[in-house]
A and B are shown apart, each in its own frame.
Chain A
Amino acid sequence: MSAPVTESAAPHRDDYWAAVSVGDADGAHAVAARALADGTDVETFLQEVVVEAQRRVGELWATNDWSVAQEHAATAVSEAVVRRLADTLPGGSGPLLLVGCAEREWHAMPALVLTTTLRARGLDAVHTGASTSRDELVSAILDRGPRAVLLSASLSSSLPRLRRQVEAVRGTGTPVVVGGRAFTGGERWRTLGATAYAASPAHAVAVLADLPRHVGPAVPLAHPGATESRTLQAAADRVVRDVLAALDLGNLALPPDDWRVVLATHTPHVVDSVASALLCDDASVLVEARAWLDEVVTGRGGDPAAVGRLWEALAHELRDFPVALAMLRS
């Protein structure tokens, strides 16, 4: 299980992007086949070509250069490429690893890339599909007894759901490794009760070597923010509705593309991100959520001041949540 020594995949990057960006699946498969024939190994191709392309897709969507449809099409092509790569790999050996996604995250890509990387390293990894429910996780654990479960979370709003998945997995005594963009920086993974954190698929391989074989149940979260988080999660629908009703965008210039709609569609995500920040006891979750929303709104020609107004409306609705209030204002 050594890190691969390989040719750089850079020459294939542009060809791959050219295919993916127009939704040309056959073209993308052809680039993958060519790269592997040239001696690029699977792991390098995934990291330097596929993941890189996905990063560009995300940027183009955020800055509104791409429609949701283009994003979906490009992602679908990349997923098909990764699945086909995974199928070409021999079945791994050693203890089983179960790879899943945070509940209600439907982009399976990060977990797919991780599964395929683990298999490229000769490990026996199985992917449970997008949005892995707790019941699915527990069933798979009882039936197959994996050595560890690896869960990927991309959105800051997913962390309360991820915490429940961690509780479910640890309840069976199985170690749980977390990773993904929702964990950038800090000790979020530790607060949520994960056994370990992996910053990348390669890091995940390293982390697996040091995992305990069995873990106890997750310790209940008792910090003040945790209670607020649970209260907020239970009232999320109402809070979203009240925030949107209280949102005052009065004198802000409206571009032709009505970004009120943009704010309305992203408010549930922001409210869940507040619940995440409270649960992890980490205000930087909100800083990230706000930076991301800034990008989305300005990318669509909106006035960045609108995000400030949204934060004011949130602070007004959460006036009975002292910890959340302090985080919103930090």
Chain B
Amino acid sequence: MTATTRERPARLLADSRSAEPRARLAQAVSRADFLLRLSRNVSAVQNPDRGLEALVELLLDEVVDVAQVVVRSGPHHLVCSGTHLDEPTTVRRPLADPLPRDSAATMETGLGAEVVLPRSGPGRGEALRSVVVDDDLAARLERSEVELLAVLPLSARGRTLGSLVVGRDRGSDFSGSQAFLADLTERIGVGLDATLLVAESRYVADVLRRSLAPGRVPEVPGLQIATHVRVAHESQAVGGDFFDVLHDPEHPDDLVLLCGDVTGKGVEAAVHARRIRNAVRTTSLVHDSPGAVLALTNRVLVLEADQDDEFSERLATAVCGRLSRDGDELGVTLAGAGHPDALLLRADGRVEAMPGEGVALGLLPGAEFPETTASMHPGDTLVLYTDGVTEARGADDLFGQERLEATLATVAGMPATAVVEAVALAVSDHLGERAHDDIALVVLHREPVVGA
């Protein structure tokens, strides 16, 4: 570290108690300006690692020559530290790994401390290692001329959430800037507390969200499967449209298909959608026929609606199907429950609807769900979708069945991903910037025979 004093830190931390009123005023203005930028900086970055980094960088650029921040974040201590001569580094340490004595004490008691470093000898290293977490940084500081480290508590909402260590090059200390440092640590504490709180909530939400998100689709030789989901509440990242494509463990060549839509949007709808997917997964183990799967699922949902107010108002529509392979034959059987008809896009561009006559799920205890069947030839494509596609609102009208069929006709015989992309693009162009409902699309394309 250089022994030359850096200008800005010198001004912010100068002991100006005996200075000219004008100089004191100038310093007060600089300090206020810095604190404002610090607050903005710490509160904007709501990712703990990056937030700490931004903070330490700012401190090293403008206030001190050495800085270390330690906070508790979930099951870790997050430590970011460095000197003004290099980029700060961040490490995560399990809570079980003990922190250096003085840093730990400050986190426990909420009391600050000043650690005076001997000029040389083994005592210097010991004193440093009672505060500094990063071994590499401690070694560098041992060779530096820093004489004093201040250990300051970071607190918010009446608890200590971390500690800040700051140091200055030789010949400078913190006398006359105690109030400024107190102000600084208070703002850092409040800012980091919010960041850590957001991170904690996001972690919980993310785990739940992953359990609600659609599963992966299986790989099936000779069959391409592509899907597309756009949720209405993008910030919640989940919605009430759902789909499932599963291997039937009893008949390994068969696939169970499901695509559906729950009333409502966002996370509440997603929770209900997950229950329906689970019910279909379970009933598929009992029944082979999609109509029977929907009938049993419907009974489960009617019972739930009777017993649980949470679900009494929630309707769901769905189309459930089975793809069965028999030699070169690929048969599709579908049953619908108040859902838009699945479309079979033939390789030559004709579009055939596969009507589903049943009523929506969760309404009538004894409802029946008639089935339709078709054969999928090489080059044919089966399209399951939710009404978010056809009811996408344009400048003058809804996207509609006709536009969907016209779009499909242009991608007949194409790979599944190309079909999904074409529909997603057409719907997105039609919507422009307007709000939309949940949108889901599942496309299964039987690959053409090579050389045909």
A interface residues, Cβ below 8 angstroms from B: 23, 25-26, 67-69, 72-73, 75-77, 79-80, 104, 106-107, 130-131, 133-136, 139, 141-145, 171-174, 213-214, 216-217, 233, 236-237, 240-241, 268
Contact = CB atoms under 8 A, between A and B. Distances in A.
Nearest to A135: B234
Nearest to A138: B235
Interface stretch (B154-162, B296-304, B367-375, B425-433): B425-433
Interface stretch (B50-58, B251-259, B264-272): B50-58
A133 B415 CA distance: 25
Contact of A214 (B50, B415, B419, B433): B50
A136 B432 CA distance: 18
Interface stretch (B1-9, B19-27, B41-49): B41-49
B422 A72 contact: yes
A315 B5 CA distance: 61
Given A23-B414, A139-B235, A131 B54 contact: no
Contact of B412 (A69, A134, A143): A69
B424 interface: yes
B418 A72 contact: yes
A131 B431 CA distance: 13
Judged by DSSP, the binding face of A is helix
B95 to A, nearest CB: 20
A76 B415 contact: yes
B411 interface: yes
Contacts of A80: 415, 417
A75 B418 contact: yes
Contacts of B45: 172-174, 214
A141 B53 CA distance: 15
Interface string B419-449: 1011011001100110000000000000000
Contact of A142 (B41, B46, B450): B46
6 contacts: A69-B410, A76-B414, A136-B237, A142-B198, A236-B433, A241-B396
B54 A214 contact: yes
Contacts of B202: 139, 142-143
Contacts of B429: 104, 268
A76 B414 CA distance: 9
B53 A171 contact: no
B431 to A, nearest CB: 9
Contact of B415 (A67, A77, A130, A136): A77
Given A73-B411, A172-B46, 9 more contacts: A104-B428, A106-B425, A130-B421, A135-B234, A142-B46, A142-B202, A173-B51, A174-B50, A214-B53
Range, interface on chain B: 35 or more
Contacts, number: 107
Nearest to B42: A173
B37 to A, nearest CB: 9
B395 interface: yes
A233 B413 CA distance: 37
A134 B51 CA distance: 20
Sorted from nearest, which 5 A-B pairs have the closest CB atoms?
A145-B47, A72-B418, A135-B234, A76-B418, A237-B395
A142 B57 CA distance: 19
Contact of A145 (B49, B57, B412, B424): B49
A68 B421 contact: no
Contact of B422 (A23, A68, A233): A68
Contact of A73 (B41, B237, B415, B424): B415
A73 B41 CA distance: 47
B227 to A, nearest CB: 12
A26 B450 contact: yes
Interface centre among B51, B234, B415 (most CB of A within 10 A): B415
Contacts of B47: 141-145, 172
B206 interface: yes
A172 B47 CA distance: 8
B38 to A, nearest CB: 12
Contacts of B50: 145, 172-174, 214
Contacts of A77: 415
A216 B396 CA distance: 40
Contacts of A130: 421, 424
Interface centre among B206, B237, B411, B413 (most CB of A within 10 A): B411
Nearest to A79: B417
B87 interface: yes
Contacts of A134: 234
Contacts of B413: 69
Contact of B414 (A72, A174, A213, A216): A72
Given A72-B422, A214-B45, A173 B237 contact: no
Contact of B44 (A133, A173, A268): A173
